[in-house]
Structure 1
Amino acid sequence: MFTGFTDETVDFMWGIRFNNEKPWFEAHKETYLNSFYQPMRELGEELRDFLADKRPQYGLICKTTRIYRDARRLHGRGPYKDHLWFCVEQPSEQWTARPTFWFELGPEAWSCGMGYYMPRPLTMAKLRARIDRDPKTMETLTRKLARQKEFQLETEDYKRPRAAAPSPLLEPWYRMKSFSICHEEKLTEELFSREIVERLKKGFDFLLPYYDYFATLEGDPDPRDP
């Protein structure tokens, strides 16, 4: 059971940021495993269980990232990350095509949310087609998002909109090629206790209707078909 991150967690993140090399990491590997990776994995599994109880039909799994960077993509950076995250998502051969819940912890801040990393263009075309068929459902979700303060919509947009939205309220969904409904803040005391578990459960519970909406897009008809 997750009981909270510790001062050692934070010390390790800062340590690896300024000592991003194998000898330092090997000397502090046990700290990494015990105070960073294992608590992150425990937190992820607990949130997966929470979400799976609410949505057993999705067969949700949890993936906790490792600290090792892809050697092919170092680009002058050290071989280790100074942050970790977990994702709760449906199993998929192409994981970027599915929406995911996530939590990330770094030396300066933590964040969480739900969204896509790199959805396929067809997925976003299906989104626009669904909104065209039923704009009211997404308008309701958009208004609900605007009424609260915990999460905000962040998007990566196409340079040119693919189509005209049914209403000004829905324009952001028509411009986007990927998105995240997310929250970020500086390190807080709740990270060091089970308070963060309850905070994330409450946040993910709010995001579940949005996840439902996007998780079912893959079953929609191809809008390119006549």
Structure 2
Amino acid sequence: MFTGFTDETVDFMWGIRFNNERTWFEAHKETYLTQFYQPMRELGDELYDFIRDKRPDAGLIRKVSRIYRDARRLHGRGPYKESLWFSVEQPSEMWTAHPTFWFELMPEGWSYGMGYYMAKPLTMAKLRARMDRDPKPMEKLTRALNGQTEFVLETADYKKPRSQPASDLLAPWYRAKSFAICHNDKLTEELFSREVVDRLKTGFTFLLPYYDYFVTLDGDPDPRDA
């Protein structure tokens, strides 16, 4: 059971940022395993169980990131990441294909939410076509999102909307190439206790109707065939 991250967790993240080399990592590997990876896995397992119980037929899996960077993509950086995350999502050969719940811990802070890292263009085209056909469900979701303070909509945008928005309220979705509904925070005290578990459960519960809406987009007709 997750009991909280520790000061050693934070010290390790800052340590690997400034000592991103194998010698330092190997000397502090036990700290990484016990104070960073294991708590992240325990937190991921607990939130996975929580979401799975609410959506037992969704076929969800839990993933915890590796600290090792892909050697083919170092681009002058060290071999280790300075953050870890867990995700809850449907399995897919393309890990960007489905909407995903996530939590990430970094040296400066943490974030959690639901969305796509890099949505497929076809997924976003299907979203726009669905809003064109019936804008009311997404308008309801957007009003709920705009009416709370925990999450914000973050988008990677086209320079121009790909089509005319069904309503002004939905305009941000029509500009988006990809998106996430997320919360970003500094290293708050709740991370060091079970308080963060309750916050994540409350947040993910709010996000479930959004997940339900987006996860069915793959089954929509291809708008290019219209």
Alignment TM class, shorter chain as reference: over 0.9
CA-to-partner distance for each residue in 1:52-71, whole Å, 9 max, x for gaps?
00011111111100111111
The whole-number CA distance in structure 1 between the counterparts of 2:186 and 2:151 is: 15
Q: Give the Cα separation in 1 of the matches to 2:158 and 2:64.
A: 30
Give the alignment's TM-score, normalised by structure 1.
0.98
Q: For 1:180, what is the secondary structure of its paired residue?
A: strand
The list of structure 1 runs, each at least 4 consecutive aligned residues, that deviate by more than 4 angstroms after superposition, is none
Query: What amino acid is aligned across from residue 91 of structure 2 in structure 1?
Result: P
Alpha-carbon displacement from aligned partner over 1:23-77 (angstroms, at most 9, x marks no partner): 0000000110111001101101111110000011111111100111111111111
Aligned to 2:220: 220
Alignment map for 1:24-43 (pairs within 5 Å)? 24-43=24-43
Residue 179 of structure 1 deviates from its aligned partner by 0.3
Structure-2 residue corresponding to 1:154: 154
Amino acid at match of 1:111: S
Aligned mates of 1:87, 1:110 — CA distance in 2: 14
Task: Indicate yes or no: 2:75 matched with 1:72.
Answer: no
The alpha carbon displacement at 1:160 in A equals: 2.3
Residues 127-173 of structure 1, C-alpha deviations (whole Å, 9 max, x = no match)? 01110111011000000000000000000011221100011111111
Distance, in Å, in 2 between the alignment partners of 1:7 and 1:189 is 11
Counterpart-to-counterpart distance in 2, 1:168 and 1:216: 24
- Work out the CA distance in 2 between the residues paired with 1:146 and 1:154: 13
Structure 2 SS opposite 1:153 = strand
After superposition, residues 169-208 of structure 1 pair within 5 angstroms as 169-208=169-208
Overall identity of the aligned pairs, in %: 78
Name the Cα RMSD after superposition: 0.7
Q: What are the Cα deviations for residues 99-129 of structure 1, in whole angstroms up to 9, with x where unaligned?
A: 0000000111000010001111111111011
Aligned to 1:3: 3
**Paired position in structure 1 for 2:109:** 109
Provide the C-alpha distance between the structure 2 equivalents of 1:57 and 1:132, rounded to a whole number of angstroms: 29
Could you tell me how far apart the structure 2 residues matched to 1:71 and 1:165 are? 43
Distance between the aligned counterparts of 1:134 and 1:45, measured in 2? 37
What residue number does 1:127 align with? 127
Secondary structure of the 2:119 match is: coil
| Structure 2 portions without partners, runs of 5+ | none
User: Which residue pairs with 1:22 in the alignment?
Assistant: 22
Tell me the equivalent position of 1:81: 81
SS at match of 1:97: coil
Which amino acid is the alignment partner of residue 58 of structure 2?
A: Y
Offset of 1:93 from its aligned partner?
A: 1.4
- SS of the residue corresponding to residue 112 of structure 2 reads strand
Question: 2:182 is paired with a residue of what secondary structure?
Answer: strand
Aligned length: 226
Q: Which runs of 5+ in 1 are unaligned?
A: none
Amino acid at match of 2:70: D
